[in-house]
Each structure stands twice: as C-alpha cells, then as structure tokens.
Structure 1
Amino acid sequence: MGAPAYGAVLLFALAPAAAVVNGSGAGVNSNSVLVALLDSHYTELAELVEKALLLQTLEDAVGRHNVTIFAPRNEALERDLDPEFKRFLLEPRNLKSLQTLLLFHVLPARHPAGSWPAASHPTLSGEDVELAAGANGSMRVAHAAVTRPDAVLRPDGVIHGIERLLVPRSVQEDFNRRRSLAAISAVLPTGAPEVDPRTHRLKKPAPPVLPGAPPVLPVWDAMAPGPSIAPAPAPGPGNGKHHFDGHSQVKDFIQTLVLYGGYNELADILVNLTSLATEMGRLVSEGYVLTVLAPNDEAMARLTTDQLSEPGSPENILYYHMIPEYQTEESMYNAVRRFGKVRYDTLRLPHKVVAREADGSVKFGQGEGSAYLFDPDIYTDGRISVQGIDAVLLPEDDKKPATPVSAPDRKAPAVTGSRKSKLRRGKLLEATCRMAGVFGQRSRLASCQ
C-alpha cells in the first residue's frame, strides 16, 4: 500500500479525535505525532498499528502524556524480517502478541536526542526497554541502533528511527512455543495392548502406569484363568504393581457385610468356600474397581444343592454378580431413569446384567429370576461398591430359536360359473361397428353383437 493512499486512510480514522476536548486538554490533531507516522519512512509501522487495532490505545496515551516512538525503517519490516515470524504476527489468533510488540516501541514519556536517558524505561506494553548511549554520541535501543534521532518532533511526542524491529521477550517466547508445537511430528496412534490368549499376559511390556490410572490389562485377562474351590489364593497374571491396598479394602467390605446383618452367606462363600476374596483384593490392588450385587441370606437360602455342587458353580454365580465398574445406587438409578434399560458387563463373560427402573428402584434381570435393589450402598469406598439385592441372579439359558411358521399357501380365488368375463371393446372397434351399422352390415360382425 502506497504512502499517500494509506496516509489518507489513517487521517480519516484519526479525524473524529482531531477536535479539542473541552476541559480535558487537547486531543489528537493534525500536528500530532500519530499523524506523523504517515511519513514515508514509517508506513509499514503505521500499517501494523492499524492491523493491531491500536489507534484508540495510542490516542488515549497521547491525550494523557507525551510519548516517544521508536519506528523501524520500512526495509526492516519488509525484507529483513523473518517471513515465519511475520506470518506469526499477522495471524488473527496472535493479535495479542502483535499488540505487545508494537506497544514495546512506545515510551510514555518524551525523550529527545538532546536528553537521551541511558537507563531502563517502561514501555506501554508493560515490559522495560534499555536505552544506551555510546562514547561517540551513538544511541541504541536494546539491540537496535538509532539511525535517525529526532526524525519527527511534535508537541505531543517524538519519533526516533531505528534500524530494526524490537522484539520483547514475551513475544519471542510465544513465537518459539508455537514454532516448537508446529515442528512436532505426528505420533502414530498405538492400538489396544495385545494379550497372549494362552498366558493372558501382555505380549509387549506395558508403559508405566501412574498411580490411580486405569490398568492397561483388561480386567478379564487379569483374573485367575480358572475357578479355585479352595481357600488358597489363585493369583491371576496381573501386572504385579499394587497401587492400592486392595486386600484391606476387601476385608473391610466383608466385615461390613457381617456387621450389617443379613449377608453372612455371601461373606462365607467369599472367604471359606472360594478364594474370590483374595482374587478381588488383588484386582483392587492393581487399580481395578468393582461393584458387587450382594444377594441377602434369604436369597442365598433359595439356591439348591445342585446349583452349588458342580465344580466352579459358586465362582460363576458370584462372578455374575460383579460389575467391573464403580456404580452407586444413585448412578444406577439415574442411568435407568434416563436410558430405560442398561446392560452392565460382568466378570462372567459374555453374560451381562440387565437393569431397568421398576417401582422407584432398580430391577436387575428379567422375569422370575429378577432382583430388586434392596439395601443400597452397603459399602462404598471409591474402589469397591456393594449393593444389596433380594434375589440371586442367574444368566438366562440359551433360548432355542423358535421354529419359523411357514406362511399358508395362497390360492387364487375360484371363478364361479355364473360370472362371465366381459369383453372390452376398444374405441377403434366401436367406430367400426358404427360404420357397419350405417351400411347395414353390423349383424355380420360377431364382435358387434
């Protein structure tokens, strides 16, 4: 953009402020130092001021006190400036950095060349700039030499021409940070951890897990590979890193069941009949969370001997009552109220527990084998949640597919003898019959009868 054309635009922008403000001193007028920025040597700086939306800010500063402006020459902004840095300044998201950089060139005081103060001075950006004077009379602003001292002198300020752009530390750090982020190469996403189906261990070592973070190994692969009908522990192939004292938490929740009353049968199965208490303690120690749907003693008494005598039956029954999530009565009730029906994974794959709202509570299962949430939040410690129910849940048996009923053969409707098909005569045949009637030959055509 040429200097005369851009000068006309800036003069038009400053025209409303050219009037004198009554009672508050003189405002910006045609003899202002801001208008002097239209000098042909500093049009690039004036254009940046316009793009940074700083005209009003500078007008307010000039109205309060004199200013000193350090104006880089046009060549320093056109050719000498790093293209990448210039692109950074002109991006809309970096408007704050551009404003900080330009205000770093303005001092809220008048410092002509005759009284050059060699010291550190605050700028309108809030950062200090160092002014220095050489023995030979040269002047410097930070690392830039003053090439045209007192280039413009006005009643409200002075402009010094400098050899290059001044870059404050904050803008340089912001630019370096953005450039570093842009230079980071994209990282290929890694898939889910591969688990050896034979050993249930990770094929590759897992990255370090922070305390409290979810474990890398799925809970089903961290469990013991088979049921154990003995009080002895049956450790599963976990990661061996215990971030929590899961055994103490399991002990506390079992003691809570006993003291709460009505859940002694479940506590006895967990501790004496199986080693599930030890297995649960190990899982919780490694960072897993569990929600136990605990049947009360009346529900456990309804179990038959056949249901408990088969090897692995107690474990399978209790695994079906353990959800690998941390749920409370409130969270489950809110879920069924919102979604109507919720399916929760259990430690007994691939079976799921279906929950729905019923009578202002949560109902698990379907049909006669359903159970209601009877005693909510018996034990909740952030890792283990125990919810009392009034029946034992059993997975649905595999239903046989219903035999498809074949559709009856469709027969065409019978045609009775009393109904005859009526011939339909076209327009051409009707016209022929009329012409034959004119000549007395209609009776000879069978179709005209």
Structure 2
Amino acid sequence: MSTNSNRPMARVRMCVFVVLVLSQLVTAALSGKPANATSSQINSNSVLVALLDSRYTELSELVEKALLLQTLEEAVSNHNITIFAPRNEALERELDPEFKQFLLEPRNLNSLQTLLLHHIVPTRLGQNEWLEKHTQHTTLSLEPLHLSKLDSTKFAGNAEVVGIDDVSRPDGIIHGISKLLVPKSVQQDFNNRRSLRVISAVKPEGAPEVDPRTNRLKKPAKPVPAGSPPVLPIYYAMAPGPSLAPAPAPGPGGPRHHFDGESQVKDFIQTLLQYGGYNEVADILVNLTSLATEMGKLVSEGYVLTVLVPNDEAMAKLTADQLAEPGAPERIMYYHIVPEYQTEESMYNSVRRFGKIRYDTLHVPHKVTAQEADGSVKFGDDEESAYLFDPDIYTDGRISVQGIDGVLFPASEKTDSKKLDSAKNVDSVKSTPKSRRGKLLEVACQVLGTFGQDSRFTTCH
C-alpha cells in the first residue's frame, strides 16, 4: 500500500479526530467545568493529529484498533512525548503473519496495547538530545527502551532510526524506525500461545450426547476401570468412518482441565461479530445461554468442536414455522456442531480422499454429510446443501468456526416438514384462509348478533 493511496483515508481520520476533540471542548463548556489541560492542548497542531496524517498510516490504524486514542491524549496533556513509528512496509510485508494475527485477535488486546505503548517515550528526545552512545528510557508500557549510536547511525532498541525528527510538533516528535519494537512481555505471550497450539493433545474419550427429551447435553460417562469389559460393542469399534481421515491435533485437554472454555466461547462469538455477516447466529448463541454454557463446559473438559455457522443471508430464509416449535433453535444449532476439530484443509483433504463422508453432530443420532464440489466442501444433500463459504473464521486448537452459505437440516426433519407443508396445503384448499382482521370481525358479529344489533354494521353481511 503506497503512501499516496493512504493520504485520503488518513485525512478523514484526522478530521474525525479533530471533531472528537472539539466535541470534548463543547461537552466541557456545557457541563460548566473549566477546560483543563487535556482539552486545551489537544488541537489540530498536536503530534497525535500529525501521526494520523503522516506516512505512518499502518501504525495509526493499529492505535485506533487498540483503543488507545484516549490514553495518548492524556499522555500528550501531561508530557512532551516521543513516538518511534515503524514505516508502513515493516507492518505490511515484513511482519510475521502469524505474529500479526496474534496481535489482531480480540483476546490479545492487552498485548497489542503494550506493544504500541512501548513505542512512546514520555519525554521529548530530538536529534540534539541524542548525544550519548547508549541511554535507557522508560516507555508508556513501563518497559525500558534502549537508545544507542553506532558511528552516525542511531538505533531504538534493535531498529534503525531511518527518519530522525521526521515530524515535529509543540507537544511531541516522531522518529521513523525500520521495524516494529516488540517488548519481552509481548514476545513471551506470543511464544506461549504458539507453543500451546503445537502440543500434542489427549483426544476426548467420547463424543458428547444430547438428551432428545430435554435438548441438553448429557453428562460425560465416568471412566471405566482397567480390566472392565468395553462399554461400546465391538461393532462400533470396527466400523469404518471419517475418523480415518487426517485431522490436526486438537490441542491439550483431557482430565487436567487446562482451558477456560467459557472465555474461549466468548472469544469466538466476539470474532463472529467483528467478522461481519454472521450476526444472526451470534445472537442465537448469546440469547441461548444454556447452549453457550454447555459449549464452554465441553471445551473445559477437553472436548473439541467444529461449528458450521450459516451466514445472515441463509438465516433470513428460515420460516417462522421452522423456528416456532419448542427447542427448534437449539436443534438447529446442535446439528451444526461437529464434535471434532476440523479446519478447511483437513475437511477438504478428507472429502478428496474418501469422497462423501459423514460427520457426527451434537444433534444425535443425525449426521451431516460432506463431499467435494467445485474445489470446495459441500455439506448436506443435493436438494438442500451449503458450501464452505468463509473458511477458518476462528481456530484456536479447540474451537473451529467455518462459515457456510446455507442452513442444514437432517433428512428426517426435512421429510416431516414436507408432510406438514402438504397437510397445510390440503387444509387451505378445503377452507379459505381468513386474516386476523377477518376473524375479529366474525367474532364481533357473533357477539352483536346475540343482542340483535348486527343490522347496524354492514361488514357483518
């Protein structure tokens, strides 16, 4: 992304920032409070506004995503700050994609804030103040930043300063640097998360089951003592199925209870909202608190889940009859949850290798079929099917969220719904349907007829 293409967007952000500052001044005036230093020093000539309109647009976008504008306003009002801004190329093409994804995940907001605050020193350090060969300064992240000189080259940490005194304003100064500065705490968080994903896991001892009478998950069975006869018949143990297909390791789990399943469920629901286009399913998961709670318990117990999420366009095609039955939303969602950890790659490899396969769902005993079609994965039957539309929306080793473009129903429920529709069509032929207003008029006429007063109303005839 070139600097010229970023200019219009940067100017729009600068205008929005100035409008926010002016609104703060108006609010302070209307409330009767005197304009303090915070409101009076943030103006169009501030170093923060200059950052939004500078060549460091990628850094300014990260500041907005990290919700740090108010924090930086307070810092500017109390200090004359120095910002070490990485150039756009360092954040666009030279940054590790896995590390960038780690920073942009909602659950890692604190790490992103710490990283950005590590680039700001609450002291003005211009070219004239940069005289010694090695100095140490405390940043807004409370972790020190080492400044050094080698011959005529200046360094901030391990990044070369490529734009000394690039932007200078009365309340601060901006130096351009060659790459991103990563504090030790953020690097440690990233290493821990990456190590957590590659650890081999103990597979779940059995798929969770749903009680068809209550539509709730059954409690997992107690472990069988050593030497006891097997719980499942040997037929189930020998039956071939999709379990032969390769799938990635689900992440550590089992009886040691490593994970906070409730937080992970909240994370993937928040990711759905930020991704866009899946608000209907997110609303169902939030409103059906029992379902979200049960999913959190399963993940905490070491189970893994793959959620097939229909987009908003598909959910809008559902009729009122399909959602009116008691427990219908729960059954629909259970049928879209597979008690395995599958990604786009693993599912596509499976259907390419085995053809049509069937995945277990939490809507026991119904299974969802999958097959390869048009270079993607198609779920369901030929009549009512859904394609893998937005792959790998959320993957953390325990919960995998895959976006699809249709709502899936078991074959038996499709047959029942067709019979119900045909019965309704027969009834509609026998009797002409009446609107709600027509039914009310009919009842009113019957009541008035009892008292001999219906002759006054022409609508009764």
Q: Please classify the TM superposition score into its range, dividing by the shorter chain length.
A: 0.3 to 0.5
Considering Cα pairs closer than 8 Å and 6+ residues apart, tell me whether 1 or 2 has the greater RCO. Answer: 2
Rg: which structure is higher?
1
TM-score (norm 1): 0.41
Greater share of helix = 2
